[in-house]
Chains A and B, each alone.
Chain A
Amino acid sequence: MDMPDISVEAGGGRRARRPPFVQPSVIPGFGLTFGFTMAWLGLIVLLPLSALFLRTAGMSWHDFLEVGFSSRALRAYELSFGASLAAGAVNTVSGLIIAWVLVRYRFPGERLIGALIDLPFALPTAVAGIALTALYAQNGWIGGLLAPLGIKIAFTRAGVVVALIFIGLPFVVRSVEPVLADLGADVEEAAATLGATPLQTFRRVILPAIGPALLTGFALAFARGVGEYGSVIFIAGNMPYRSEIAPLLIVTQLEQFDYAGATAIASVMLVAAFVVLLFVNLLQRWTRKRGVA
């Protein structure tokens, strides 16, 4: 029985039948597969996530601000977001160069290098973390070269950036590669024929075409960096107020049974992640529309 009044007011005619939820099809199995999908999604993802939001909603504003935005938490956000921005910026430049080399140049071992780009996706983060720490510590291969110059990477904020560069690299390369391949070399040739310098061609022809893909790759790398834990905690030093990332602060609060603190910080990060996700979705929709026009 849904809203009988409306059909009477609608002029006494036969009530328009509500369209079915699913379009009729000869293919069977909608109820089973859709039901299972929703149930599983609800159990594994939505129910646990709502636990976080309900916990947060149960806190007073005052408490939430006090623990979610304490000076220690603010410093941790600053580091997590700042280091992710820095690493994202480095990856935008180096990712573009690597994608360019992979798409435009033919060289031996090209496929091997193309496959290795995804290593940061496939290598467990803890393994990446201890390997980078070993390399960049003062007695490590790279850290040892930098030490005489007075540069310390491991156990400083710079170490966090190094770990996030590793984690974020494939996002930019993989976002830009297909667009660059689609663009083809002929537009560059056309620009050069018309008298453009290489720099002009890059700025006026190539950059506008790959801009959205570059920005998408940056945003994905940034989002991943903000939440990253495993690869960072080994190299960061983890000093409160100095080199402590936000995910680590959540773990620390949990270990001290400070559930309110952990929950508040987690919901701040979750909201930030959703904002980035929304931005990426809008960006991709906009790119697709522009591609059709």
Chain B
Amino acid sequence: MTGALATSRTGRAALMALAFAFLGLFIVAPLVAVFAGALSQGIAAYGGALVEPDALSAIKLTLLVAAISVPLNVVFGLAASWAITKFDFPGKNLLITLIDLPFSVSPVVAGLIYVLLFGAQGWLGPWLEAHDVQIIFAVPGIVLATMFITFPFVARELIPLMEEQGRDDEEAAISLGASGWQTFRKVTLPNVRWALLYGVLLCNARAMGEFGAVSVVSGHIRGKTNTMPLHVEILYNEYSFAAAFAVASLLALLALATLALKSILEWRYGVHGKGHL
């Protein structure tokens, strides 16, 4: 496609130069800086920073939090999109808006609301303390905050697609005698599998990388309630820059892998994701 504006050669060169300069400065340079920082003390120091016990426990906790919150997000996303796209009921748009709500809440506020609910000074704080249940400054709080932040991810990828696909396939399957569960498994799920994978991918990236919300509820207890992004912060504030960037480089690799898989889903399988994280 070349239009009147696009055919001007100098215009084209100038716009491309501007675009590349901006992307170089704001996208490529930070990415390169992460890996350069990680390797600044040599490869041995890089490896050492990753196998250090606190780093390992941060990696384990991050994986654990994602392993709990992502599957729950998938179950919720499938249930919500089934209810919203296969049935007609009043207030549907309001429900969709409410599902999207966590996107417009600051991560710090997301953490704060759980502190107000479960913290020592919170509504349920005294009761939880009496029953010796710890949520804030412990793993359950981190999982809850992560679930809040990632709440819309799978649902918002599935709802537009299932809306577009309509109900004919499911209605046909049911009238041919399939049960609801069979219809879901053999008809709906294959229809939406790539969009579902897309949602899972973005959800997982955000779950593993969330910082603000998790930082408020975690209490930063080394080796116990530190996720990888929190571990990066602690190392950085202790001026262990190379170690901080080493752990950060793992998260950057996760981001690059996410982008690569996301692009493959878009190019090969035609997923038109919303993309926003």
Contacts and interface: CB of A to CB of B under 8 A. Distances in A.
B116 A52 contact: yes
Given A22-B89, A51-B117, A121-B276, A198 B26 contact: no
A3 interface: no
Contact of A105 (B6, B18, B22): B6
B15 to A, nearest CB: 6
A32 to B, nearest CB: 8
A29 B184 contact: yes
B98 interface: yes
Interface string B251-277: 110011011101100010000000111
A254 B1 contact: no
A230 B227 CA distance: 14
B105 interface: yes
A21 interface: yes
Interface in B44-75: 75
Interface in B17-48: 18-19, 22-23, 25-31, 33-34, 37
A46 B99 CA distance: 10
A140 B25 CA distance: 13
Contact of A45 (B123, B151, B276): B151
Contacts of A98: 19, 22-23
B176 to A, nearest CB: 11
Contact of A115 (B117, B151, B232, B259): B259
A263 B112 contact: yes
A123 B251 contact: yes
A234 to B, nearest CB: 7
A48 B83 contact: no
Nearest to B274: A174
A124 B3 CA distance: 38
A28 B180 CA distance: 6
Interface in A129-148: 130-132, 134-135, 140-142
Contacts of A65: none
A247 B99 CA distance: 23
A273 B248 contact: no
16 contacts: A27-B180, A28-B174, A51-B116, A101-B15, A105-B16, A118-B275, A127-B251, A130-B244, A131-B33, A142-B25, A169-B26, A169-B27, A185-B3, A227-B104, A229-B106, A266-B106
Interface of B: 1-6, 8, 11-12, 15-16, 18-19, 22-23, 25-31, 33-34, 37, 75-76, 78-80, 82-84, 86-90, 95, 97-99, 101-102, 104-109, 112-117, 121-123, 144, 147-148, 151, 167, 170-171, 174-175, 179-180, 183-184, 202, 205, 208-212, 215-216, 228-230, 232-233, 236, 241, 244-245, 248, 251-252, 255-256, 258-260, 262-263, 267, 275-277
Interface of A: 21-23, 25-30, 32-34, 36-37, 40-41, 44-49, 51-52, 55, 94, 97-98, 100-105, 107, 111, 113-128, 130-132, 134-135, 140-142, 165-166, 169-171, 174, 184-189, 191-192, 196, 198, 201-202, 206, 220, 223, 226-230, 234, 247-248, 250-251, 254, 257, 259, 262-263, 266, 269-270, 273-274, 276-277, 281
Given A186-B3, A202-B5, 5 more contacts: A45-B98, A49-B105, A170-B275, A191-B4, A276-B104
